[in-house]
Each structure stands twice: as structure tokens, then as C-alpha cells.
Amino acid sequence: MPLSLPNLALPLRRSTRSTKRGSLAESEEKSPKPASKKAKKVTKSQTNILLDAGDLEPRVSDAESSRALGKNAVKAKPASPSYANEDDTEDDTLKEGDTLPKINLKNEQGETINVSTLCSEKGAVLFLYPKADTPGCTQQACGFRDIYGDIIALDYDVYGLSKDSPAAQEKWKIKKNLNYHLLCDPQSKLIKRLGAFVPPKSTKRSHFIFEKGTGKLINIDIGVKPVEDPHKVLSFLTKRGNT
């Protein structure tokens, strides 16, 4: 009599296969999907095409931006010195009856003086010389030093005027014990207005007297001699004071 096989064998295999299939399905569901590949780099030519098409905006680094600004930046011009309260008619030579112009000059102490104010309290005598601490100029300056008291007594003050620097004027003043202020006109602004400028850069020895009270120019003497000049000024003021 033939042997019959157990009926449980086949169902068991199917069950095993089903279990395996279920496990695989669950495994597939749980396992993450493979990551997508990285985007390809855009080449320089492709970038240019996109820029032309307007799809991209150009990116400029901070360093490039700074370099561009440096190339295109306009350098600020240094501020010009202020000449407020100065006359702009620098080519007009003063004549008798004119008043002192509004010109700012330094004195030997480096103080700024507006020469239009020199006659606010007294009359003013301006004597001009080519260069401080030279023989002829020293004779002229010491002559005014020696009669300074006589000029002050007539209610006039004395001022030396040249192209020299404040330092040079102060050194000379101390050396010769000068008892009045020295004005510095390196650009010959006032010297030109007085008509005593000698091109290209010299000054004619001279003097100019401005009246007390009105500040008007009352005496001009250009081309004077160093020793004679102080006495000519005193003589003029003395005669004027007696009239």
C-alpha cells in the first residue's frame, strides 16, 4: 500500500515564502531612497549665457567691489584756504585817497592781521623792504626803531612789510630789538596793491602813510634810501600835525 506524504509540507513552504515576501516588502518600504545625484557645476560659458538671458544676477565679491570703488573713486580736493573778508580787486593799485584793502597777513608772531583794521585807533606808517636782516633793510628798520617814540607821539604806528616768513621776521626783530610789528606778505598781495612789487619776486623799498581816523592813503614814496626813509616819514607827519 503506497505511503501518503504529510499534507503540512506544502503549506509550510508557502507560508515561508509569504513571510519572506512580506519581510522584503517591509524592508523596501523602510529603507530610504537613494540620494539624488549632485547638480552638475555650471560652466563659465553657461553662466554667461544665463546672465545674458537675465536668469542670473552677477555676484561680486567684497574684494572686487572694493577694488572697483578704489579705481572709480574721485579723490576729494583739499580745501582751499578761506579768503573771506578780503578784497578781490587785487590788481588795483592804491592811490592817494584810497583806504587800506581787506587783506589778511601774518605778523612776526604768526597772528592773522586784516590790514584794513590797522587805522582803527591810530594812523599807520607802512615801510617796505626787500628782505629781512640784510644791510640796507637793517639800516631802514633801525632808523624807524630810533624815532618810533616821535612817530607814536603824533598818533601814528609803524609796521614793517616784506615777503619774509613770520619766523624770519621774528628772528630779525629780536636781533635788532625792533619795537614795532613786522607784517609778512609771501604772496605779495598787499605789496602789489601798493605798487611796490618788482617782478619776478622782489619788493621796492618804500613807505606809505595812512591817515588816522579815515584810514586814507595820504603819502606815497617809492624808491627811498634806507637811512633817509625814517626821517622823511617823521618830517611829513610833523608838518601835517602843525597844519
Residue 115 DSSP class: G
Q: How many CB atoms lie within 10 A of CB 154?
A: 15
* Strand-pair partners of 17: none
Q: Which residues, other chains included, contact 123 with Cβ-Cβ below 8 Å and sequence gap of 6+?
A: 154, 155, 156, 157, 209, 210, 211, 212, 213, 237
CA–CA distance, 47 with 95 (Å, rounded to integer):
78
Furthest C-alpha separation in the chain: 179
Q: So which residues are the catalytic ones?
A: 137
Q: Which long-range contacts (CB under 8 A, 24 or more apart) does 98-106 make?
A: 98/216, 98/217, 99/210, 99/214, 99/215, 99/216, 99/217, 100/124, 100/210, 100/215, 100/217, 101/190, 101/193, 103/189, 103/190, 103/193, 105/183, 105/184, 105/185, 105/189, 105/190, 106/166, 106/183, 106/184
3 phi and psi, to 5 degrees?
Answer: -85, 140
